[in-house]
Amino acid sequence: MGLPRKWDPMLPSKPEPKGKGRGAKWHRFKEQLRHARGIYACEQCKAVCDYLEAHHVVRVHDDPSREFDARNVRFLCKDCHTTAHNGSKTGVVSPK
């Protein structure tokens, strides 16, 4: 994976793939939340990564009202995010 690049607030974040995801409102929400929290490493394993994925602790499918609830979002590296979804039926990641 190599060394992560130094974070620069003026650099554009990784663009949301077209045709995937929850749309511009979700993309803005998660980026603002990540910057407000000052998160630049996985909240589960603490690995510093170029890109962190937003993970809903309580799945949006189970409770749509929590999609934009900041307390329901964790920022995880790709490996931890995959484990969160494949490692449990609920997708819940317990905070360390």
Structure tokens at 87: 């490692």
Rounded mean pLDDT of 19-39?
85
Q: From the CB of residue 74, how many other CB atoms can be counted at a distance below 10 Å? A: 22
The whole model's pTM is what?
0.67
Higher pLDDT, residue 17 or 56: 56
pLDDT value at residue 23? 87
CB of 73 within 8 A of CB of 57? yes
pLDDT value at residue 96? 44
Residue 74 CA to residue 76 CA, distance in Å, equals 6
Q: Residue 76 pLDDT more than 90?
A: yes
Least confident of 8-17, 30-39, 48-57, 81-90: 8-17
pLDDT value at residue 39? 87
Q: What amino acid is encoded at 68 in this protein?
A: F
Residue 7 CA to residue 67 CA, distance in Å, equals 27
Q: Residue 19 pLDDT more than 60?
A: no
Rounded mean pLDDT of 10-33?
71
pLDDT value at residue 82? 93
